[in-house]
Structure 1
């Protein structure tokens, strides 16, 4: 398998990259990053890792990164750190459109995208903690939430052409040993999921989904 990851310099992106290299030891991992200096040294030095630097609007480099790829994982998304100063428009959702166009141009169907419960799902029910988090984030960073919602919308339009999965993660707990971490996938208010997720456990679950393919065309919450 040859996997392409976007957002590999972020905390989740790094963990997903490391988990992939652990599980698929002889396979190739392509990391598309803006600045390779932000990658941890173990990823830079791994012989199975190919690093391609580029912007998300650089179609030539996006196409280069997509060559021979079997699946794409995106850990892109607004963090809300800019709060009310987050740019208007939907820059990350627009980047997803370019990524998906490039995927289709190279015949790549499998997409796993990470986002938050700000993206709603018809299977969701009322959950006070998650609704509180959603409304709080929307108040602090309304433009970021608009971008997140747009990400879910543009991905779901590709159901006929891409085998996508949207994994929604809320609050992150401290990193833990994945062997002692049970990850639950479900929907808001289903009595199984909650507002907290382990980064390490989520990374393991996401890499397992590459082979399991249990959540195609679905957008569960991981907790």
Structure 2
């Protein structure tokens, strides 16, 4: 498999890259599209299965070249609340997604897994107080970032006829990146379904996402990933 990963220098992106290389070992190629190649961790930069392409998200020529012969795309791009009220008033990340999807269609790549947050809603969701509180708190602190996140959800969902997409909504992630995957179970579901909650293992999420590349159990769906609730069924 040849995978193109965006956001591969962030905490989640690095875990996804390492998990992909571990699962597929010598039978894969991982293409990292990054703004600054110097930020790629040394173990990934020196791996012979990794191709690093340095480019901007508004460079259609570079995006098209990166997409060549790719089987699937994972995007770990997304707005954060770090800039708070100073986040740009437009939707820059959603615009980048549009360009990425144009490049995918130009190279006949259908499979897309996009990471987002529970700010994106789904018809299958029900009321869940902790997640509603987090959603409202984030919207109050960083309204423009939430606007961009919601725009990402809309532009990805609009591609159902042409792309096999999955929108993965990550709950609040644990910060320990050295967790043993065997102890980092995550479940996929919807808000208020009695199985999901407000916390997710970053390592467990990476394992789930890489497995979903071939399992394809969540095509055209928008699950929340979280640690299982105490009363969830096995």
TM > 0.5 between the two? yes
1:181 aligned residue = 184
Cα RMSD (Å) of the superposition?
Answer: 0.6
2:208 aligned residue = 205
- Is contact 2:185–2:201 with CA below 8 Å preserved after alignment? no
The structural deviation recorded for 1:108 is 0.2
1:102 aligned residue = 103
Residue by residue over 1:161-211, the C-alpha shift from the partner in whole angstroms, topping out at 9 and shown as x without a partner, is 000000001211133211112110000000000000011000000000011
The structural deviation recorded for 1:16 is 0.1
Provide the rounded CA distance (Å) in 1 between the counterparts of 2:80 and 2:39: 17
1:13-92 to 2 correspondences below 5 Å: 13-26=13-26, 27-92=28-93
Is 1:126 aligned with 2:123? no
Provide the rounded CA distance (Å) in 1 between the counterparts of 2:217 and 2:11: 25
TM-score, with normalisation over the residues of structure 1?
0.99
Runs of 5+ unmatched residues, structure 1:
none
1:7 aligned residue = 7
TM-score, with normalisation over the residues of structure 2?
0.94
1:104-183 to 2 correspondences below 5 Å: 104-175=105-176, 176-183=179-186
1:93 aligned residue = 94
Equivalent position SS for 1:145: helix
Instruction: Using the TM superposition, name which of 48-57 and 171-180 deviates more.
Output: 171-180
Greater than 2 Å deviation, 4+ residue runs: none
